[in-house]
Amino acid sequence: MNNLFDIILYSFLSGITVFFGGLLRKIENFPEGKRKEEFLHSIIAFGGGILVSAVALVLVPKGLKELSLLAIIIIFIAGAVCFFLFDRFISSQGGTKAQLMAMLMDFIPEAIALGAVFAHDKSLGLLLAIFIGLQNLPESFNSFSDLVKSGVSETKALIIFIPLSFCGVVGAVLGYLFLGGFPKIIAGLMLFAASGILYLTFQDIAPLAKIEKNWRPALGASLGFLVGIIGQKIIG
């Protein structure tokens, strides 16, 4: 029972950053101009750095530990292809739905893995919760802007983010109840998510972070990865 309470608490804290990211974007009043452009691009790069650190320090190591080489190859390729096909589909749809689905593509699989991992490794589960929370913040910050640009009012966009914040709790509880005793399935899910995250990072996040003749946003990616290193060192 204590484990279940901890899972609900940690998944809630990691998921509520979806709402806080949107709220931060709504209330920010950085003056328009070059400085604001640098700031926004740095936020995107920071989120990308955290995503890459999650892949390198948590998701892939778990897959390498539990799975055979053939399984790793098949699952990793399957993850990349599935995210590629889904990305093409949502891009063809455009609009609000596409933006929301893109944000959830990595959040939900990781939340399920969080609940499953927590059943037998609390430290790894806590580290994964921190990663999820940190990456949700810049992702929702940027997704909020996309929603507003597509015609959704700021208030409605913020309301949309409230139920999305609780998706992680549902996924984590389901992962804990049904996958806690299957470490290989957990590892496969994490590796699948890792492959998809890498695809999203280089397809969508990294290109958006770049500004011509400006190198500051790229430092945000390094800082984001450093956050992952610090978390891994403290928890692991």
231 within a domain of the structure (yes/no): yes
24 within a domain of the structure (yes/no): no
The amino acid at 34: K
How many other CB atoms sit within 10 Å of the CB of residue 204? 16
Q: DSSP states of 103-146 as a string?
A: HHHHHHHHHHHHHHHHTT-HHHHHHHHHHHHHHHHHHHHHHHHH
pLDDT band at 95 (very low <50, low <70, confident <90, very high): low
Distances 195 to 52, 75, 235 between C-alpha atoms, Å = 10, 8, 24
pLDDT tens-digit map of 145-197: 778 877 788 888 889 889 988 988 999 999 888 887 888 988 898 899 888 88
Which pLDDT does position 102 carry in this prediction?
60
10 within a domain of the structure (yes/no): no
Hey, which of 35-39, 140-144, 161-165, 213-217 has the most confident mean pLDDT? 161-165
68 in the Ramachandran plot: left (φ > 0), alpha (ψ -120 to 50) or beta?
beta
13 within a domain of the structure (yes/no): no
Question: Can you give the pTM of this predicted structure?
Answer: 0.79
The amino acid at 40: L
- Position 75 pLDDT exceeds 90: yes
Computed over every residue of the chain, the mean pLDDT equals 82
Residue 167 per-residue DSSP state: H
83 within a domain of the structure (yes/no): yes
DSSP β-bridge partners for residue 211: 214
| Domain range for 74 | 45-235
57 within a domain of the structure (yes/no): yes
Per the structure, how many domains does the chain have? 1
219 within a domain of the structure (yes/no): yes
152 within a domain of the structure (yes/no): yes
Written as six digits, the tokens of 129 are 């919760």
